[in-house]
Amino acid sequence: MLELLPPLNDHNLPWMDTIHPIVVHFVIAMALIGYLFDVIGVVWRKPALFEASFWNLLFATGAIFVAIIFGQVEAGLAAPYGAARKILDIHTTIGWSLAGVLSLLAGWRYVIRSRDPEILPLSFLGAGSVVSALIVVQVILGDTLIWTYGLHTVKVVSAMREGLI
Amino acid sequence: MPLALAYAPSDAPIDQIAKDLGANGLPYSLPIHPNLVHLTIGLFVIAIAFDVVGALYPLEKRVFRFLALPITRGGFHDVGWYNLLACCLITFLTVAAGFYEMLTAVPLPGVKSTFGLGSMTTMLWHGVGGVLLLAVIVGMTVWRGFQRFLWRRDMGRQVQWLYLLVGIVMFALLGLHGTLGAQLAAEFGVHIAADQLLQAGADLHTALP
């Protein structure tokens, strides 16, 4: 069975480079900027920003599922070591939770927009700030996996294959 | 180039601040530039994508009606404008953080990238390319602003086809540029603590428990 899988390169990946960090551009940027647009839209009373943030939130919600698919495959090939194992577990748990949370938030936003696209209740802003904070935590965990533990970097993969870690 | 070398200082400038830097070669634990890059790339790509959706609106109307999703063409172009404006402002910080982190970069020696380039060549392309991309993003934001507020203010399609074409060409350039950046991390080990510790001969079981 195993020989049917594609061969792994020096990043321990079946493709050129990690795809998960590329897909998460669209979750991180769209969700965070959507929240910022909501805040500015409320403060400056600019409903056009609510429209922009609605679409950004909707896109972030779609993108997180793609990010999870690639994240799971690449996590499975990451060979975490030391504390990175635990960090990867928490990153995975928060990642799946965020998919649910973002879906709920987008659903709520759809209802708000359907009723009156020019008004945004403060409770939605409150929820947005909590979700944004959760995303920041998730980014820090993901950052730690690559920038501290070097998962999927050529140097760490070769050390792993030599049995050094 | 024996003449240039004769004028070169004996120590690398990075040595002047080396004692203040952590294992990742930075005075803080996680690099800032790659995080701002999420915003630059995400905002630019989605800005252009939504302007494309707005431009092709007559083709999509029926699909959205089927989805029971109330839409306006102007709403798509709002995303295109505000995301690009945000991208333009944030990208100044992305480039600034990138230069700080490139000046403190210590790539792993003797590595050739997947593109067959050495670390210095990769950094030069990524650094100069980053400034050029910022210039294009600023230029496109001004261009987009003229289209939105002056030239096409009363038109349904708020953007010129040429603008969308330039945006799509930029996708390719951003992809190439981002790949160079990814190689600096994943292949040259720049600012990656584990890679730098391994290079220094440390045992990761004790150095990164």
In DSSP notation, A85-117 reads HHHHHHHHHHHHHHHHHHHHHHHHHHHHHHH-T
Position A16: which residue type? M
The pLDDT value recorded for residue B15 is: 85
The pLDDT value recorded for residue A137 is: 98
The pLDDT value recorded for residue B128 is: 97
Position B113: which residue type? S
The pLDDT value recorded for residue B9 is: 64
| B24 occurs within a structural domain | no
| B77 occurs within a structural domain | yes
A161 in contact with B at a CB cutoff of 8 Å?
Answer: no
Flag if B194 and A59 touch (Cβ within 8 Å): no
- Would you say the pTM of this structure is higher than 0.90? yes
pLDDT average, residue stretch A61-65: 97
SS (H, E, C) B156-186: CCCCCHHHHHHHHHHHHHHHHHHHHHHHHHH
Give residue-wise pLDDT tens across range A106-134.
Answer: 999 999 999 999 999 999 999 999 999 99
Flag if A149 and B76 touch (Cβ within 8 Å): no
* Residue among B185, B178, B191 at smallest CA distance from B14: B191
Tell me the C-alpha distance between B143 and B145, whole Å: 5
* Residue among A134, A109, A138, A97 at smallest CA distance from A38: A109
Flag if B187 and A154 touch (Cβ within 8 Å): yes
Enumerate the residues of chain B whose CB falls inside 8 A of the CB of residue A13.
none
| B22 occurs within a structural domain | no
**CB neighbours of residue B170 within 10 Å:** 18
Q: Are residues B30 and A144 in contact, defined by beta-carbon separation less than 8 angstroms? A: yes
- Per the rule left: phi > 0, alpha: psi between -120 and 50, beta: everything else, B57 is alpha
With 0-12 / 13-18 / 19 or more C-beta atoms within 10 angstroms meaning exposed / middle / buried, residue A152 is buried
Taking CA atoms, B7 is separated from A124, A162, B12, B120, in Å, by: 62, 42, 13, 20
CA dihedral for B108, B113, B118, B120, sign (positive or negative): negative
A85 in contact with B at a CB cutoff of 8 Å?
Answer: no
Q: CA dihedral in degrees (A63, B171, A144, A161; nearest 10)?
A: 100
The pLDDT value recorded for residue B193 is: 95
* Residue among A91, A62, A59 at smallest CA distance from A74: A91
Enumerate residues 5 to 24 of chain A having a beta carbon within 8 A of any beta carbon in chain B: 11, 16-18, 21-22, 24
With 0-12 / 13-18 / 19 or more C-beta atoms within 10 angstroms meaning exposed / middle / buried, residue B114 is middle
State which residue of chain A sits closest to B107, comparing Cα positions. Answer: A155
Flag if B76 and A55 touch (Cβ within 8 Å): yes
Tell me the C-alpha distance between A64 and A70, whole Å: 10
Does the pLDDT at position A103 exceed 80?
yes
Tell me the C-alpha distance between A104 and A62, whole Å: 12
| B179 occurs within a structural domain | yes
Q: What φ, ψ does residue B31 adopt, rounded to 5°?
A: -65, 150
In three-state secondary structure terms, A118 is coil
Tell me the C-alpha distance between B117 and B134, whole Å: 23
The pLDDT value recorded for residue B139 is: 98
| B14 occurs within a structural domain | no
Give residue-wise pLDDT tens across range A48-58.
Answer: 999 999 999 99
Q: Are residues B106 and B190 in contact, defined by beta-carbon separation less than 8 angstroms? A: yes
State which residue of chain A sits closest to B114, comparing Cα positions. Answer: A16
**What count of residues does chain A have?**
165
Q: DSSP character for B111?
A: -
Rg of chain A's alpha carbons, rounded to an integer?
19
Flag if A18 and B203 touch (Cβ within 8 Å): no
Range of the domain at B201: 29-207
Enumerate the residues of chain B whose CB falls inside 8 A of the CB of residue A17.
179, 182-183, 186
**Bigger pLDDT: B205 vs A61:** A61
State which residue of chain A sits closest to B185, comparing Cα positions. Answer: A153
Tell me: ipTM over 0.85: yes
| B154 occurs within a structural domain | yes
Flag if A49 and B185 touch (Cβ within 8 Å): no
Six-digit token string for A20: 């998960």
The pLDDT value recorded for residue B3 is: 63
Enumerate the residues of chain A whose CB falls inside 8 A of the CB of residue B78.
48-49, 51-52
| B65 occurs within a structural domain | yes
Flag if B204 and A81 touch (Cβ within 8 Å): yes
Q: Are residues A33 and B83 in contact, defined by beta-carbon separation less than 8 angstroms? A: yes
| B6 occurs within a structural domain | no
pLDDT along chain B (209 residues), means of 10: 63 85 93 97 97 93 83 93 98 97 94 94 97 98 96 92 97 97 96 94 88
Q: Domain tally for chain B?
A: 1
Flag if B204 and A164 touch (Cβ within 8 Å): yes
